[in-house]
Amino acid sequence: MRRPLLLALFFFAACFHRFYQDYVGVAADASDGAISSDAPVSGCQTANCGGKTPFCEPDTHQCVGCRDGKDCSETRGCSQESHTCTDCTFHSECASSFCKLDGSCAATNELLIVDNGVSCQSIGNPIGNLPYCEIADALPHVDLNHVRLLVNGSDRAYRAVSLPIGMPELFIVGAAPGHLPVIAGLSIGQAIISTSVSVDNVEIAASSGSGFDCTADGGSKPIALQLSRVRIHDCAGWAVHSVGCDLNLDAGLIGPHNRQGGLSLSHTSFQISNSVIFMNDGPPLIADQNRSSGEVGFSTLIANSGAVSCKSGSPFSINHSIVLQNGASQFDGALTLSQVVVGKDDNSAIAGAVKSTPVFAGDYYQLAKGDPANAGDNGCCVDKATAGPPYDALGNKRPRGRSYDIGAHEVQ
């Protein structure tokens, strides 16, 4: 009876040793049983990691330099790609959820926190260091050292607010990760000094007027307006109404059901990229009396009620984009097109229009993967641009294939 028992124990020990090696992803060194701390370790636990890769990433089960921004110093972000502490690119890479334009993470004492889902303070009820209940409650505290508002997602929408224009710059960012904070409208009046306003990672919905209204005409100083990763929908006016404000819109989801339409831009210059303007109850874009230049690139303007219009002034250009199902006549005025997919039935005679109809999949008109209408020698859109932005409307890296895809999305 003793020999079978010894064989069973020997077999168990051998299997356990093999299981352990497979679990940590490396074989024990024959000399001393040490595990390399800097090598990627499959199926790791943090106790197995060390050196330059001291943390176990829970999704990939690899030893990495950092899992999120909390594993880095306060001003450094944790790269979503390399899992190393470095300059930040996205807000979600920072422990503070705020990546500054210079690539450093904002310190928490630089931020004014807005959160109406927790105990909070208002103008009429200031309470210590609690977050502010509304954006309007935080604005009186904006100064040269505090120009960054971090707005947390909540089950309740934030009230509409008119932003101050006495500061040289102001940043409003929705906290990431988590669901976008919803704001019932933003507006900016005439500026008394040159002002830069950046709004990032928020949702503007159900405004009684336009979702974002920026007015800087009448000889006032220019306002530079940067909208990134915003969603604007179901507003009674335009999604964005701008008079005299220079607009840069990147990775915007504009629609559905903004009553007057997508963008109304007058006396302005504008740059629109990686954006989807869709299913609005008016035109996707009207530009009137452009101050200098206007350009739409790598965007999808689809299923809106009206034409893309350049009413007067300097013509603007549309490139590497999809403009589809926006009425019988999709273009009005002085426009230049380059690699713009307009559909087989479009009746425009503008040079640069591609008479082809893409096939879509997804909530935001993503290109369907593998469909011959989109890809291949006869496809309209996939791998058709030789250069492009580094990401698409949903934050996916570009290019995915051998080159860049036409429209707001890169096929995944």
Cis peptide preceding 399, ω within 30 of 0: yes
136 with 172, same domain? yes
141 with 265, same domain? yes
CA nearest 329: which of 351, 301, 348, 353?
Answer: 348
96 with 148, same domain? no
Residue with the bigger pLDDT between 218 and 66: it is 66
Residues 346-394: tens digit of each pLDDT? 988 889 999 999 999 999 999 999 999 999 999 999 999 999 999 999 9
Q: Any long-range contacts for 173-176 (C-beta under 8 Å, 24+ apart)? A: 173/91, 173/97, 173/98, 173/148, 173/149, 173/198, 173/199, 173/200, 173/201, 173/202, 174/200, 174/201, 174/202, 174/203, 175/91, 175/97, 175/150, 175/151, 175/201, 176/90, 176/91, 176/92, 176/97, 176/201
> Which DSSP letter does residue 368 get?
P
Cis peptide preceding 140, ω within 30 of 0: no
Flag whether 17 is in a domain.
no
Cα separation, 112 vs 143, in Å, equals: 10
72 with 165, same domain? no
CB 210 within 8 A of CB 184: no
Flag whether 405 is in a domain.
no
Cα separation, 269 vs 263, in Å, equals: 13
Residues 285-343: tens digit of each pLDDT? 999 866 657 999 999 999 999 999 987 667 789 999 999 999 888 999 888 999 999 99
The CB density around residue 402, as the number of other CB atoms within 10 Å, is 7
Cα separation, 173 vs 196, in Å, equals: 14
Q: Specify the pLDDT at position 288.
A: 84
Q: Among residues of the chain, what percentage have pLDDT more than 70?
A: 84
79 with 118, same domain? no
Cα separation, 199 vs 197, in Å, equals: 7
180 with 261, same domain? yes
Q: Specify the pLDDT at position 73.
A: 95
77 with 202, same domain? no
113 with 69, same domain? no
Flag whether 130 is in a domain.
yes
Flag whether 259 is in a domain.
yes
The domain boundary, picked from 289, 314, 339, lies at 314
Flag whether 31 is in a domain.
no
Whole-number CA gyration radius for the chain: 26
pLDDT band at 189 (very low <50, low <70, confident <90, very high): confident
Q: What is the mean pLDDT of the segment spanning 116-122?
A: 93
Residues 203-257: tens digit of each pLDDT? 999 999 999 999 875 555 678 899 999 999 999 999 999 988 899 999 999 999 9
Cα separation, 399 vs 387, in Å, equals: 9
Cα separation, 387 vs 385, in Å, equals: 6
3-state secondary structure of 215: strand
Residue 13 above 50 pLDDT?
Answer: no
The domain boundary, picked from 253, 288, 314, lies at 314
105 with 206, same domain? yes
Give the chain's domain count. Answer: 2
Q: Whole domain around residue 140: which residue ranges?
A: 101-314
180 with 201, same domain? yes
Task: Give the mean pLDDT of the chain.
Answer: 85
Q: CA angle 67-73-78, nearest 5°?
A: 30
257 with 208, same domain? yes
> How far is CA 388 from each of CA 24, 101, 264, rounded to the nearest angstrom?
41, 21, 25
The domain boundary, picked from 314, 331, 357, lies at 314
- Identify the residue whose tokens are 């005025």: 333
> Which DSSP letter does residue 272 get?
E
174 with 74, same domain? no
Flag whether 13 is in a domain.
no
Flag whether 410 is in a domain.
no
Flag whether 366 is in a domain.
no
CB 321 within 8 A of CB 297: yes
CB 208 within 8 A of CB 231: no
Instruction: Count the helices and strands in the chain (H runs, E runs).
Output: 2, 31
Which residue type does 244 have?
G
